[in-house]
Structure 1
Amino acid sequence: MPPHVLKDKTAMNKITLLGVKMVEEIASMNERTDDRNPQTIFKKFKDQVITTVWDRARVLVPMLEAKIKKLEAQLVSEMNKEEANRDQNVAAATIEEKIQILEERRHQQVRYTTAAMNRIHGETVSKYWTALNKAKTPRDTILGLRNCDGSGRILKDPKKMASLARKYHNDIQWEDLTPQAPTERKKNIDEALREVKCKLNPDQANFMSKRLTREEVAFALAHAETGKAAGINGIPYELWKALDQQFIDEKE
Structure 2
Amino acid sequence: MPAEQATNNPDNPPVPRRQRNNPHNTVTSPLPKPQKNTRANIRIGSLNIQGRGANSIYDPSNKWTKINQLVRDKKIAILAVQEAHLNQCMTEQLNDLFVNLSIFASPDPENMNARGVAFVINQRIAAVGKNIKIETIIPGRAMLLETKWHNDESLTILNVYAPTNMRESRTFWNNLWEMWTNTDSTLPFPDIILGDFNITEHPQDRCNGRWDNQETVDALQNLMKAFQMKDGWRDTFPNTQTFTMVHNGNHHQSRLDRIYIAEEQTNRAHEWTIDDVPIPTDHKLISVNIVIPNTPYIGKGRWAIPNFVLGNKKYLQNIEDLGKSLLNNLDRPIDANRLDNPNTQLLWKQFKTDIIDSAKTFAKKTASYLDRRLKEVDAEIRAVNADRALQLLDRNRSIATLTKEKKVILTKRFQTRREVAAARNLLEGETVCKYWTSLQKQKPPRDLIRTLKIPNGEAQGSRNYTKRSDEMAQIAKEHHDNLQDLDTNHNPNMREEAIQTALNAINTSLTDEESTQLGTALTDSNVLAALASAANGKSPGLDGIPYELWKTLNKRFQDHQKSVPKTSLQ
TM-score bucket (shorter structure): 0.5 to 0.7
1:94 to 401, 415, 418: 401
How far 1:63 moved relative to its partner?
3.3
- Equivalent in the alignment of 1:111: 418
Letter of the structure 2 residue corresponding to residue 4 of structure 1: F
1:41 alignment counterpart: 347
Map of 1:78-89 to 2, 5 A cutoff?
78-82=384-388, 83-89=390-396
The one of 8, 16, 23 aligned to 2:320: 16
Correspondences of 1:42-191 after superposition (within 5 Å) = 42-54=348-360, 56-57=362-363, 61-82=367-388, 83-135=390-442, 151-152=462-463, 164=470, 168=474
Structure-1 separation of matches of 2:361 and 2:430? 38
Question: How big is each residue's C-alpha offset from its partner over 1:91-145, in whole Å with a ceiling of 9 and x where there is no partner?
Answer: 3233223212211221122123212321333213433223311246578999x98
Helix, strand or coil for the counterpart of 1:235?
Answer: coil
User: In the alignment, is residue 229 of structure 1 matched against residue 539 of structure 2?
Assistant: yes
How far has the Cα of 1:28 moved from its partner? 2.8
Looking at structure 2, the residues matched to 22 and 95 of structure 1 have their Cα atoms a distance apart, in angstroms, of 49
Q: Is the 8 A contact 1:26 1:38 kept in 2?
A: yes
* Match of residue 187 from structure 1: none
Letter in structure 2 aligned against 1:152: R
The residue identity in structure 1 corresponding to 2:370 is L
For the 8 Å contact 2:315–2:359, the answer to whether it is kept is: yes
Does the Cα contact within 8 Å between 2:454 and 2:466 map onto a contact in 1? no
More divergent stretch after superposition (110-119 vs 49-58): 49-58
CA deviations on 1:192-250 (whole Å, 9 max, x unpaired) are xxx8953654994599336324xx65555444320122234432211112223444565
What is the TM-score normalised by the length of structure 1? 0.64
Q: Higher relative contact order at CA 8 Å, sep ≥6: structure 1 or structure 2? A: 1
Higher helix proportion (structure 1 or 2): 1
CA pair 36-211 structure 1, distance change in 2 beyond 3 A: farther
Secondary structure of the corresponding residue to residue 209 of structure 1: coil
Task: Report how far residue 30 of structure 1 moved.
Answer: 5.0
After superposition, the Cα gap between the structure-2 partners of 1:219 and 1:85, relative to the gap in structure 1 and judged at 3 Å, is same
Is the 1:145–1:154 Cα contact (8 Å) retained in structure 2?
A: yes
Aligned length: 228
Higher deviation after alignment, 87-96 or 15-24: 87-96
Flag structure 1 segments of 5+ consecutive residues without an equivalent.
177-190
What is the distance in 1 between the residues matched to 2:331 and 2:477?
33
More strand by share: 2
Tell me the equivalent position of 2:59. none
SS at match of 2:534: coil
> Residues 22 and 41 of structure 1 are in contact (CA less than 8 Å); yes or no, is this contact kept in structure 2?
yes
Measured on the aligned residues, the alpha-carbon RMSD in Å equals 4.7
Q: 2-side partners of 1:118 and 1:238: how far apart?
A: 23
Q: Measure the CA separation in 1 of the matches of 2:537 and 2:376.
A: 33
Give unmatched runs, 5+ long, in structure 2: 1-303, 483-498, 564-570
Quote the Cα distance in structure 1 between the aligned partners of 2:553 and 2:535.
16
2:452–2:472 Cα contact (<8 Å) kept? no
Contact 2:326 2:347 (C-alpha < 8 Å) held by counterparts: yes
Aligned counterparts of 1:211 and 1:33: Cα–Cα separation in 2:
31
What SS does the corresponding residue of 2:520 show, helix, strand or coil?
A: helix
CA contact (8 A) 1:5 1:53 kept: yes
Q: Is the 8 A contact 2:454 2:463 kept in 1?
A: yes
Report the alpha carbon displacement of residue 47 of structure 1 after superposing the two structures with TM.
3.3
Cα pair distance change 1:78/1:132, threshold 3 Å? same
* C-alpha displacement of 1:74: 0.9
| Cα deviation, residue 11, structure 1 | 3.3
Instruction: Name 2:268's counterpart in structure 1.
Output: none
Is the counterpart of residue 238 in structure 1 residue 548 in structure 2? yes
Equivalent-residue separation in structure 2 for 1:78 and 1:130 (angstroms)? 49
Query: Does structure 2 conserve the Cα–Cα contact (< 8 Å) formed by 1:6 and 1:242?
Result: yes
Q: 1:38 to 1:201 in 2, by over 3 A?
A: farther
Q: State the SS of the aligned residue for 2:463.
A: coil
**TM-score using structure 2 length:** 0.32
Q: CA, structure 1 residues 139+231, in 2 after alignment: closer, same or farther (shift >3 Å)?
A: closer
8 Å CA contact 1:146, 1:152 repeated in 2? no
Amino acid paired to 1:91:
S
Instruction: State percent identity of aligned pairs.
Output: 28
Separation in structure 2 between the aligned mates of residue 200 and residue 69 of structure 1, nearest angstrom = 67
